[in-house]
C-alpha cells in the first residue's frame, strides 16, 4: 500500500466509497451487531420485566445510554481509524471546503489547537476539552433526533401489545428477541452519524498536513532562523499531530 497521500480540495469517488461503504454501512452493521450481542447478554435470561421506563430494565434509559457510549466511542475510535487509513494511503485527506459552514470549522477545530509548547498534563487537559465539547454536541444532536422518536415508537408498540410478555413476569417487551432486535436496530440507526466523524477527521488531517508542510518549507527557505524559532515550529507541529 502506498504511503500518505497529499490533501485534495474536494471529495472524490474514492472518498464517497470510503465514507459510504466503510464508515457508514460498515459502521452501522458493526454497531447493530455489537448492540444486539450486548442486549442478548443483558436481557436473554433476565428475571426482571423489561419496560419502557421503570428500572432496572428500562429501554428508554437503554436508548439514552447507547447514544452516549456509542457516540463517544465513535468519535474517538473512528478518528483513530481514519488516521491509520491515511498513513496507509487508503484515501487522501481533505482540505477545508471553500466557505465552510461554521459548524464544520468548529468540529474540525484547528483554531483550538495550541501553537505553543506544553507539558503532558496540559496536553491531556486540552484533549479532554477539545474532544469533550464536540462529543457533547454530537450526543445532544443525536439524542434530540433519535430518542423522542424511539420512545414514541415504543409507546405505540406497548399500546398495541407488540412484544408484551403474558407470563407472570409481565414486562412490556420481554418476549425474545424483541429487546435484542430493538437494541440492534437502534445501534444500527444511530451508526449513520459515523461518516460525519470520518469527514471531520479527513479535513483535520488534511489541514494539519498542509500546515506541517508549510512549516517545513519555511525552515528550508530560511536557514537563518534562530534555534528558538525552530523549536517553536517543532512544538507547533507536535501539537497539531497530537490533537487527533
Q: What is the pLDDT along the chain (244 residues), one digit of tens a residue?
A: 467 888 999 999 999 999 999 999 999 999 999 999 999 999 888 888 888 998 888 999 999 999 999 999 999 999 999 999 999 999 999 999 999 999 999 999 987 766 555 678 888 888 899 999 999 999 999 999 999 999 999 999 988 888 777 666 677 887 788 899 999 999 999 999 999 999 999 999 999 888 776 655 555 555 545 444 444 444 544 555 455 5
Instruction: Report pLDDT for 234.
Output: 45
User: Is position 2 within any domain?
Assistant: no
User: Is position 6 within any domain?
Assistant: no
User: Is position 19 within any domain?
Assistant: yes
Rounded distance between C-alpha atoms, residue 105 and residue 110, angstroms: 8
Rounded distance between C-alpha atoms, residue 188 and residue 31, angstroms: 5
Which residues have C-beta within 8 Å of that of residue 61, sequence separation ≥ 6?
A: 53, 55
User: Is position 39 within any domain?
Assistant: yes
Which residues have C-beta within 8 Å of that of residue 171, sequence separation ≥ 6?
A: 48, 49, 50, 51, 57, 164, 165
User: Is position 115 within any domain?
Assistant: yes
Domain count, the chain: 1
Q: 136 is in which domain, residue-wise?
A: 13-216+224-242
User: Is position 8 within any domain?
Assistant: no
Instruction: Report pLDDT for 149.
Output: 96
User: Is position 3 within any domain?
Assistant: no
Give the chain's radius of gyration (CA, Å). Answer: 23
Instruction: Report pLDDT for 233.
Output: 46
User: Is position 5 within any domain?
Assistant: no
- Identify the burial level of 99 via C-beta atoms within 10 angstroms of its C-beta, where 0-12 means exposed, 13-18 middle and 19 or more buried: exposed
Instruction: Report pLDDT for 123.
Output: 81
Amino acid at each position: 500500500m502506498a504511503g500518505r497521500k497529499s490533501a485534495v480540495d474536494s471529495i472524490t469517488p474514492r472518498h464517497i466509497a470510503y465514507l459510504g461503504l466503510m464508515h457508514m454501512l460498515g459502521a452501522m452493521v458493526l454497531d447493530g451487531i455489537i448492540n444486539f450481542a450486548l442486549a442478548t447478554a443483558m436481557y436473554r435470561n433476565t428475571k426482571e420485566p423489561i419496560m419502557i421506563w421503570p428500572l432496572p430494565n428500562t429501554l428508554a434509559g437503554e436508548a439514552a445510554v447507547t447514544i452516549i457510549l456509542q457516540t463517544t466511542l465513535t468519535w474517538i475510535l473512528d478518528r483513530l481509524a481514519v488516521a491509520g487509513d491515511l498513513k496507509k494511503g487508503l484515501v487522501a485527506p481533505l482540505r477545508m471546503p471553500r466557505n465552510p459552514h461554521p459548524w464544520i470549522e468548529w468540529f474540525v477545530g484547528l483554531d483550538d489547537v495550541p501553537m505553543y509548547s506544553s507539558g503532558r498534563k496540559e496536553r491531556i487537559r486540552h484533549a479532554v476539552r477539545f474532544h469533550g465539547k464536540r462529543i457533547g454536541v454530537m450526543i445532544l444532536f443525536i439524542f434530540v433526533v433519535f430518542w423522542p422518536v424511539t420512545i414514541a415508537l415504543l409507546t405505540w408498540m406497548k399500546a398495541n401489545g407488540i412484544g408484551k410478555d403474558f407470563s407472570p413476569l409481565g414486562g412490556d417487551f420481554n418476549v425474545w428477541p424483541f429487546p435484542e432486535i430493538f437494541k440492534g436496530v437502534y445501534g444500527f440507526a444511530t451508526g449513520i452519524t459515523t461518516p460525519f466523524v470520518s469527514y471531520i477527521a479527513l479535513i483535520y488531517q488534511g489541514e494539519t498536513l498542509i500546515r506541517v508542510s508549510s512549516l517545513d518549507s519555511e525552515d528550508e527557505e530560511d536557514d537563518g532562523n534562530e534555534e528558538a524559532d525552530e523549536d517553536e515550529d517543532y512544538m507547533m507541529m507536535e501539537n497539531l499531530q497530537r490533537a487527533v
